Amino acid sequence: MPIRQATAADIPRMLALLQQRREAYQHYAPMFWRIADGAVEKHEPFIRHLVHDDDVLTVVHEVQDHVDGVLIATTMHAPPVYDPGGKVCMIDDYVVESPALWREVGMRLLEHCREWAMVRGCVLQIIVCAQKDVPKSAMLKGMGAEVASEWYVRSI
C-alpha cells in the first residue's frame, strides 16, 4: 500500500514538501501566506508531535521509497452554532510533490483520510486550499467537495 503512517524518519521529507507548498502559496497572497523566518525549523517540533500523536492522522504516500504526498488530519466538533450531524475532520497540511499528482496521489490520500474519519464518527471533511491552487481545488471539486467559505484579507 503506498499510503502509510508517517514515522520520525519521514519528517525531513514532510517538512520539505510543506515548505514547497508554502513557497507556492506565498505567490498567491504574499501578505497572508508570507513565509516566516525559520519556518521549517519552527514547524519541525509541531510535525514531530503530530507524527507521534495517536489522535492525529499523519500519513504519507510513498512510491519506491520516495514520499510524494503528505496529509495530516484531526477530528473536532463543529462550532456549537452549526450542526453538521457529527464530528468534522480538519485537513490543513495536505500536499503533493507536483500539481500533476493531485488527481492520483491527492485523491488516494483524501480517500484514506475519509475512511479514517468515518471510523471516528466524522461526517464532514474540511480541507484547506488556497483560492489560486487550481490543481488541488479542481481535484477536490471533482471528488464532490464544495467551497464552504472564503477568507478575505486586506492590509491595515
Q: What region does 33 belong to: left with phi over 0, alpha with psi -120 to 50, or beta? A: alpha
Amino acid found at 27: H
Query: Alpha-carbon distance 144 to 139, whole Å?
Result: 9
Predicted confidence (pLDDT) at residue 136 exceeds the cutoff of 70 = yes
Query: In 37-152, where do the E strands start and end?
Result: 57-63, 66-76, 87-96, 122-127
Q: Is 73 part of any domain?
A: yes
| Structural domain containing residue 85 | 3-142
Predicted confidence (pLDDT) at residue 138 exceeds the cutoff of 70 = yes
pLDDT at 48: 97
Predicted confidence (pLDDT) at residue 155 exceeds the cutoff of 90 = no
Counted domains in the chain: 1
Q: Is 19 part of any domain?
A: yes
Pairing between β-strand 122-127 and β-strand 87-96 as defined by DSSP bridges: parallel
Predicted confidence (pLDDT) at residue 151 exceeds the cutoff of 90 = no
pLDDT at 1: 64
C-alpha atoms less than 13 angstroms from C-alpha of 83 in its C-beta half-sphere: 0
CA 115 to chain centre: 16
For residue 94, give the CATH number of its domain. 3.40.630.30
Predicted confidence (pLDDT) at residue 41 exceeds the cutoff of 70 = yes
pLDDT 10s digits, 66-110: 999 999 999 999 888 999 999 999 999 999 999 999 999 999 999
Are 57 and 72 in contact by the 8 Å Cβ rule? The answer is yes
Q: Is 127 part of any domain?
A: yes
Query: Alpha-carbon distance 51 to 95, whole Å?
Result: 16
Instruction: Tell me the pLDDT band of 154, cut-offs 50, 70 and 90.
Output: confident
